Amino acid sequence: MNKPLRRIAIFCGLLVLTLLIRDNWLQYVQADELKEDEHNRRVAIERYASPRGDIIVDGKAITGHATTEGDFKYKRTYKDGAMWAPVTGYVSQAFGATQLESIDDGILTGNDDRLFFRNTLDMITGRKREGGNVVTTLNGAAQKAAYDGLKKQGAKGAVVAIEPSTGKILSMASYPSYDPTSIAGSNDAAGEAWNKLQKKNNPDDPMLNRALREVYPPGSTFKVVTAAAALEHGKYDSADEKTDSPLPWTMPGTSTELKNEGNIPCEDATLREALRVSCNTVFGKLGYDLGNDKMLETAKKFGFTEEQFVPVRSSASVFSEGMNDSQVALSSIGQYNTAATPLQMAMVTSAIANNGTLMKPYMVDELQGPGLDTVEKTEPEEMSEPLSADNAQILQSMMETVVEDGTGTNAKIDGVKVGGKTGTAQHGVDNSENPYAWFISYAKADDGSSPVAVAVVIEDENAVRDDISGGGLAAPIAKNVMEAVIDSKK
């Protein structure tokens, strides 16, 4: 071969090599990046070329699909969408996906790596790819009771119910809510619906999942955490031992007396009596006596200061370190900067009801392939032990007194042992805005086990201030949720 031909051959060979390198770079190195590029319309077209799998509650789908015109053949639909939105999130041709729709997108679309062999077989046989299902732990009757209760109240709020023995989330409701079907498409109507839901256009912020993402001052419901700390750290050994609680009590380092709500019997009250009538002085001084470190230690065991993943992310609840004595006292009655999600307070109640063991909360029971075969099964997992079984039972007896003969009587259920705690949490600068109404509770079965623990919070901006109380606004909703779970097990 003469010299010019050899040069041309070498040059052509280099061109071919360059093309091969570039081709492999695109297919293997940049594949994922190109696949996820928002401008890659072919991926989006493929994504909506077949129906998604379903999200399942009580063995029935709460999702569906509809055909559409244009490049995207299918869009997502939801049954009772507003009720289930805090669980499902949304999947939209125009606006992406959130919550379970996003986290388990691979299963729902059939693109999950764990479905590789199934997809390969379908490709060989020419069968169209199908999505799998997400089977939740939710209880439909409990969710309806929670959502209907919030809707009837007409105020912002949230409910979380947990099965204490396993950590299964039975209900997760938030109000106001939205119907994800309205934003599932990519047409003008979906865009208009989306704009109306944005917080800048709707101050009620219906897309906010208040059950997981909003942190509220827990008010007097936090007193059960303070009581747990007092029992666990040996400050008191029983519910009926008198406490060292003077009245009035001036917070350390200040000239400010910690006030109780009304003329209630709080001087040297027992833990049982102090919880029954909700004495600020008793629990504020308890927190001060224990100190910041011991209070923080107990709060952390209940899950405070850490984000939770259920698998949707929940905001971290707050109990601070490095506080001065009066700040510790206020934090120990659920004020100062103590803050909790409804999920967190349901976890607190669940641990107490489960004899001191906190199970990790979760709301996906099983992931299924297109043929309903199990791809992944969630097993209950112990998260921590905030208090001993003996101390948990002491605290249960105190909470049951609250419902039998205290501030929580609106949660009574005939023939069922119920424990609870009310809370009315200060809100706004110098307590200028309407307080939040809280109620936490659990129900006991005949064998002593607890099928359900509940946390309810109501933020009613329009209510008459003096009419706001955890026992009045939140306890009836908790009662209905507990009854729904109990009835579903019969």
Q: Which residue has tokens 């999505």?
A: 131
CA angle 449, 453, 456 (to 5 degrees): 165
Integer Cα distance of 478 and 83 in angstroms: 16
Look up the domain containing 409 and give its range: 219-372+379-488
396 found inside a domain: yes
Helix H or strand E segment including 352 = helix 342-353
Integer Cα distance of 48 and 46 in angstroms: 5
Instruction: Give me the amino acid identity at 382.
Output: E
238 found inside a domain: yes
Report the domain count for the chain. 1
CATH number, domain at 285?
A: 3.40.710.10
Res 22: pLDDT? 77
210: Cβ–Cβ under 8 A, 6 or more apart, which residues? 86, 156, 157, 158, 174, 175, 342, 457
264 found inside a domain: yes
DSSP class of residue 318? B
Q: Which residues are catalytic?
A: 220
Mean pLDDT, residues 166-172? 98
453 found inside a domain: yes
Residues of the chain above pLDDT 70, percent? 90
Q: Where are the alpha helices (DSSP H) in 25-174?
A: 31-36, 41-47, 81-88, 99-103, 105-109, 116-125, 140-153
- Residues 437 and 219 sit within 8 Å (Cβ to Cβ): no
476 found inside a domain: yes
Q: Secondary structure of the chain: what % helix, strand, coil (to 5)?
A: 40, 20, 40
**pTM beyond cutoff 0.85:** yes
472 found inside a domain: yes
Q: Which two tokens stand for residue 203?
A: 């101050």
Res 68: pLDDT? 82
35 found inside a domain: no
5 found inside a domain: no
pLDDT band at 121 (very low <50, low <70, confident <90, very high): low
User: What confidence tens digit (pLDDT) does each residue in 299-358 have?
Assistant: 999 999 999 999 999 999 999 999 999 999 999 999 999 999 999 999 999 999 999 999
Q: Which residue has tokens 């869009």?
A: 75
Integer Cα distance of 191 and 180 in angstroms: 12
Mean pLDDT, residues 406-422? 95
Q: Three-state SS for 427? A: strand
CA angle 336, 296, 312 (to 5 degrees): 85
CA distances from 319 to 157, 422, 484 (A): 22, 19, 33
Q: Three-state SS for 164? A: coil
Integer Cα distance of 425 and 95 in angstroms: 36
What's the residue count for the chain?
Answer: 490
- Chain centroid to CA 449: how far? 23
